[in-house]
A = this chain, B = another copy of it.
Amino acid sequence: MAIKQRTIETELPVENNVIVAGIGCSGNLVHLLDGPQPFGIHGIHGRTLPISLGIKSANPDLNVLVVAGDGDFLSIGGEHIAPQAQRNLNVTCVIMDNGVYGLTKGQSSPTTEYGEITSSTPYGKIEAALNPLHLYLSMGVSFVASAFSSDVRGLAQLIQEGMDYKGFSIVHVQSPCTTYNDTFDVLKGNAKKGIEPQTYAIDDSHDPENLEAAFDLVQKPVPLGVVYKAAKAVALDERFEQVTANVKGTNAEQLIKSLAI
């Protein structure tokens, strides 16, 4: 696991890591880690981001990692992405996109394709699929990467890079659900079955600090690698410090005094 790897590399004690898990198959990962346990919080469906906002701003020294599914993060929790992007909350989100609601047994999710048959769309889905990478960029997320669950090492590297980055980072992972939505062949390609792969490695020539290039990239599914990495984004904790640096602190005694008659 990338989390353990980082621990070793940076010699940050494992206690300093907090995993904020969504509700879904993906979030259950928080209970499955072996070895020294990081801290975890497995709250309610769709609220990983506000919870991590609370954790990270209450204690900026912590390394906070969000783990959530496409339903949790993009559907019920969709409202929380833009505000964190605007704050540039310094946490890393690993979004496991399987194009389906796994835990509740196969309903459609925001990334399920138009027209697809699922348990909740017996005659075909009537909503278009969302393009999460494009959306992240548009909301102003400062680090956006795209990964594929079958490439464990590549994924670990991207998570690492996201955690090293100071600012709001999202690693969006294509993670086929073998039970309800097995897109492995479509993503990886299968020469025998004549399936062209949807995924492709991002070209080395791509400059991840170039937002326009990033937008171009995410038009075509599914690039793998770092899509965007804002060059000079100041993270929330620093911003807060900057803004309040010149404010004289006060205390209750003084506040009461100012009201005396």
Residue ranges of A at the interface with B (Cβ–Cβ < 8 Å): 74-79, 82-83, 85-88, 110, 123-124, 126-131, 134-135, 137-140, 215, 236, 239-240, 243-244, 246-247
Per DSSP, chain A at the interface is helix
When C-beta atoms are compared, the residue in chain B nearest to A127 turns out to be B86
Least Cβ–Cβ distance between A129 and chain B, in angstroms: 7
Cα(A110)–Cα(B84), bound, Å: 11
Is B239's CB under 8 angstroms from A126's CB?
yes
Least Cβ–Cβ distance between A46 and chain B, in angstroms: 9
Is A123's CB under 8 angstroms from B78's CB?
no
For A134, list chain B residues within 8 Å (CB).
138
* Sample (22) of A-B pairs whose CB atoms are under 8 Å apart: A76-B79, A77-B79, A78-B78, A79-B79, A82-B110, A83-B127, A87-B126, A87-B128, A123-B243, A123-B246, A123-B247, A124-B243, A126-B236, A126-B239, A126-B240, A126-B243, A128-B140, A130-B139, A131-B138, A135-B138, A137-B138, A138-B138
Is B78's CB under 8 angstroms from A128's CB?
no
Residue of A86, A124, A129, A236 with most chain B CB atoms under a 10 A cut-off? A86
Least Cβ–Cβ distance between A128 and chain B, in angstroms: 5
Least Cβ–Cβ distance between A83 and chain B, in angstroms: 7
Q: Which 4 A-B pairs have the closest CB atoms?
A: A79-B79, A138-B138, A86-B127, A126-B239
For A82, list chain B residues within 8 Å (CB).
74, 78, 110, 130, 135
For A83, list chain B residues within 8 Å (CB).
75, 78, 110, 127
Least Cβ–Cβ distance between A74 and chain B, in angstroms: 8
Among B88, B131, B215, B246, contact of A128 (Cβ-Cβ < 8 Å): B88
Cα(A242)–Cα(B21), bound, Å: 39
For A88, list chain B residues within 8 Å (CB).
128
Known: A79-B78, A110-B86, A243-B123. A139 touches B128 (CB 8 A): no
Among B123, B135, B140, contact of A139 (Cβ-Cβ < 8 Å): B135
For A79, list chain B residues within 8 Å (CB).
76-79
Least Cβ–Cβ distance between A59 and chain B, in angstroms: 18
When C-beta atoms are compared, the residue in chain B nearest to A85 turns out to be B128
Cα(A251)–Cα(B242), bound, Å: 65
Cα(A134)–Cα(B215), bound, Å: 12
When C-beta atoms are compared, the residue in chain B nearest to A140 turns out to be B128
Cα(A2)–Cα(B91), bound, Å: 45
Least Cβ–Cβ distance between A167 and chain B, in angstroms: 11
